[in-house]
């Protein structure tokens, strides 16, 4: 099948676009309001966009409490959603009013950052401390005059990692079991059973031949 996204004439019961582009990592974003109320919410339009300097982005539909808090303070945290915390993450997505603390709502412990005042999830094994760099309004939805989505781009200024998941100088992603968003109400998780490794191809500069070597990774990205 083919459909035009301007008319969205896919003929399906539900819009398939988010089911097609997935799995998507989840930014479990902690922020604090100007009044001092903690906020926690999951966002799946999210990813790392560079490593030198380390920067991330996420996008928010409508100016929700998270976006307002970040624009006011210039900072936030991102905690990793792992399988053992998936129910807590789901609770924190509830559309409650601004003066409700989602950390308390979801039964989680807020921990103030080292370089930022925004709280991270104490139960999460990995968290990022972030400072806002830029906001970018996206195109308005079809037929509308005003943007609905805004991309927030930020620098990662600090990283928390539970040392139990550091093995042989590497983070054991499979042991962390991070959760990712699919389409509709579906999610997935990384596990040792689902993880596999592919070495990058090596190129012979003289002949142009490409080969994939079956050997342990040397820590470099060609």
Q: What is the pLDDT of residue 95?
A: 93
Q: Are 27 and 43 in contact (CB under 8 A)?
A: yes
What's the CA dihedral at 85, 19, 155, 72 to 10 degrees?
-80
CA distance 220 to 88: 37
Name the 3-class secondary structure at 108: coil
Query: Is the pLDDT at 222 greater than 70, yes or no?
Result: no
What's the CA dihedral at 88, 90, 91, 96 to 10 degrees?
140
pTM, two decimal places: 0.92
What percentage of the chain reaches a pLDDT higher than 70? 99
Three state DSSP letters for 69-87: HHHHHCEEEEECCEHHHHH
Q: What is the pLDDT of residue 47?
A: 98
- What ranges do the domains of the chain cover? 17-196
pLDDT in tens, 17-41: 999 999 999 999 999 999 999 999 9
Report, at the CATH architecture level, how domain 17-196 is classified.
Roll (2.30)
Q: What is the pLDDT of residue 42?
A: 98
pLDDT in tens, 111-167: 999 999 999 999 999 999 999 999 999 999 887 888 999 999 999 999 999 999 999
**Residue 70, phi then psi, degrees to nearest 5:** -65, -40
* Cis bond before residue 23 (omega within 30° of 0): yes
Give DSSP secondary structure letters for 181-206.
E-STT-EEE--TTT----PPPEE-TT
Q: What is the pLDDT of residue 173?
A: 96
Q: What is the pLDDT of residue 144?
A: 84
pLDDT in tens, 173-195: 999 999 999 999 999 999 999 99
Average per-residue pLDDT for the chain: 94
pLDDT in tens, 156-167: 999 999 999 999
Q: What is the pLDDT of residue 216?
A: 82
């Amino acid at each position: 099948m083919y459909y035009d996204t301007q008319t969205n004439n896919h003929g399906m019961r539900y819009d398939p676009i988010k089911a097609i582009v997935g799995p998507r990592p989840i930014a479990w974003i902690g922020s604090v309001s100007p009044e001092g109320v903690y906020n926690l919410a999951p966002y799946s339009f999210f990813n790392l966009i560079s490593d030198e300097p380390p920067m991330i982005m996420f996008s928010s539909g409508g100016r929700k409490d998270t976006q307002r808090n970040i624009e006011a303070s210039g900072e936030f945290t991102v905690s990793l959603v792992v399988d053992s915390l998936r129910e807590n993450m789901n609770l924190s997505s509830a559309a409650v009013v601004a003066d409700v603390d989602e950390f308390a709502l979801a039964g989680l412990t807020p921990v103030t950052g080292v370089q930022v005042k925004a709280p991270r999830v104490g139960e999460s094994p990995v968290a990022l401390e972030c400072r806002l760099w830029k906001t970018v309004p996206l195109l308005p939805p079809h037929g509308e005059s005003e943007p609905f989505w805004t991309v927030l781009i930020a620098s990662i200024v600090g990283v928390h990692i539970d040392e139990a998941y550091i093995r042989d100088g590497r983070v054991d992603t499979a042991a962390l079991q991070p959760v990712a968003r699919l389409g509709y109400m579906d999610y997935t998780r990384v596990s040792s059973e689902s993880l596999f490794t592919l070495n990058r191809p090596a190129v012979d500069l003289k002949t142009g031949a490409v080969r994939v070597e079956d050997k342990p990774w040397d820590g470099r990205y060609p």
